[in-house]
Structure 1
Amino acid sequence: MPILQAPIRILGCGSPLMGDDGVGLKVIEALKKTELDELDGLDIADAGVCGLDLLNLFDGASKVIIVDAVLTGNRKGSVHRIEGRDLIEGTEPHTLVSVHDLTITDVLRIGEQVQTLPEIVVIGIEIGELATEISRDISPEVLGAVDETIKLIRKEVSSLF
Structure 2
Amino acid sequence: MALSKTIRIMGCGNLWMGDDGVGIHTVEKMTVMKEKLAAGVSLSDPVFSDFPADALPYLSEVDIMDAGVSGLDMLCFLEGFDKIIIIDALKSDQNLGAILKIKGEDLLDGEGVGRMMSSHDVSVPTVLGIAREVQGLPEIVVYGVEIQKHPDEVNLTTEMSPAVEAAIDRVISLVLQEIRKEAAE
With structure 2 as the length reference, what TM-score do the two structures score? Answer: 0.78
Match of 1:89 in 2: 109
Give 1:141's match in structure 2, choosing from 163, 171, 181: 163
Give 2:122's match in structure 1, choosing from 86, 97, 102: 102
Larger radius of gyration: 2
Tell me: higher relative CO, structure 1 or 2? Use CA pairs within 8 A at least 6 residues apart: 2
Question: 2:25, 2:15 → 1: CA distance?
Answer: 9
Query: Which residues of 2 match residues 9-158 of structure 1 at below 5 A?
Result: 9-35=8-34, 38=38, 39-90=59-110, 92-100=111-119, 101-130=121-150, 131-158=153-180
- Asked if the contact 2:6/2:83 (under 8 Å) is kept, the reply is yes
Question: 1:47, 1:154 → 2: CA distance?
Answer: 19
- Sequence identity (%): 39
- Asked if the contact 1:9/1:63 (under 8 Å) is kept, the reply is yes
Tell me which amino acid in the other structure corresponds to 1:120: I
Q: Deviations over 1:74-116 (max 9, x none)?
A: 10100010000111223x2333232324221111111111101
With structure 1 as the length reference, what TM-score do the two structures score? Answer: 0.89
- Asked if the contact 2:6/2:82 (under 8 Å) is kept, the reply is yes
Question: 2:116, 2:62 → 1: CA distance?
Answer: 28
Taking a change above 3 Å as real, the CA distance of residues 12 and 106 of structure 1, as seen in their structure-2 partners, is same
Q: Deviations over 1:2-44 (max 9, x none)?
A: xx87620000001111111111011001111224875453100
- Asked if the contact 1:78/1:126 (under 8 Å) is kept, the reply is yes
Instruction: Report how many residues are paired.
Output: 157
Q: Secondary structure at the match of 1:32?
A: helix
Match of 2:42 in 1: none
Tell me which amino acid in the other structure corresponds to 1:17: W
- Root-mean-square deviation (CA, aligned residues, Å) is 1.9
Q: Which runs of 5+ in 1 are unaligned?
A: none
- Asked if the contact 1:123/1:149 (under 8 Å) is kept, the reply is yes
Question: 2:115, 2:167 → 1: CA distance?
Answer: 17
Q: Secondary structure at the match of 2:64?
A: strand
Q: Secondary structure at the match of 1:33?
A: helix
- Asked if the contact 2:20/2:117 (under 8 Å) is kept, the reply is no
